[in-house]
């Protein structure tokens, strides 16, 4: 039998430390993560993420699907072209992405991350 779990925004205790692989490189941005769902087989997680303006250098180990609710950012792969994202945008960050997130306006995003 399948199960449906509605993800209410930010209903669990948040994680307030910077994510592993994320390093501040400009300004003093901060982030908060709410993991609202973890698959029983540990193959994926989903939840909400907020961040304040500034720039992080990020290293991804897994795929992430993002729906940006609020805010804006310029995401630039190392050696690649910048991609501007804003409210309403949906996008995928591929596993092994390495580059910067320049957060230009406070962000609220919903995410799903494939762990396996």
CB 84 within 8 A of CB 54: no
pLDDT tens figures, 45-86: 999 999 999 999 999 999 999 999 999 999 999 999 999 999
- CATH 2.40.110.10 matches 22-114: no
For the entire predicted model, the pTM comes to 0.90
Q: Cα–Cα distances in Å, from 84 out to 73, 75, 87, 114?
A: 6, 6, 11, 23
Domain edges within the chain: 22-114
pLDDT for residue 62: 95
pLDDT tens figures, 36-47: 999 999 999 999
């Amino acid at each position: 039998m399948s199960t449906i779990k509605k993800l209410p925004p930010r209903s669990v205790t948040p994680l307030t430390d910077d994510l592993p692989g994320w390093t501040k490189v400009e300004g003093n941005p901060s982030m908060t993560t709410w993991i609202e769902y973890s698959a029983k087989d540990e193959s994926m997680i989903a939840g909400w993420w907020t961040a304040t303006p500034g720039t992080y250098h990020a290293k991804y180990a897994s795929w992430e699907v993002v729906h940006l609710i609020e805010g804006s950012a310029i995401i630039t792969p190392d050696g690649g072209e910048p991609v501007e994202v804003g409210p309403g945008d949906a996008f995928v960050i591929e596993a092994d992405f390495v580059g910067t997130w320049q957060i230009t306006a406070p962000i609220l995003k919903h995410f799903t991350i494939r762990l396996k």
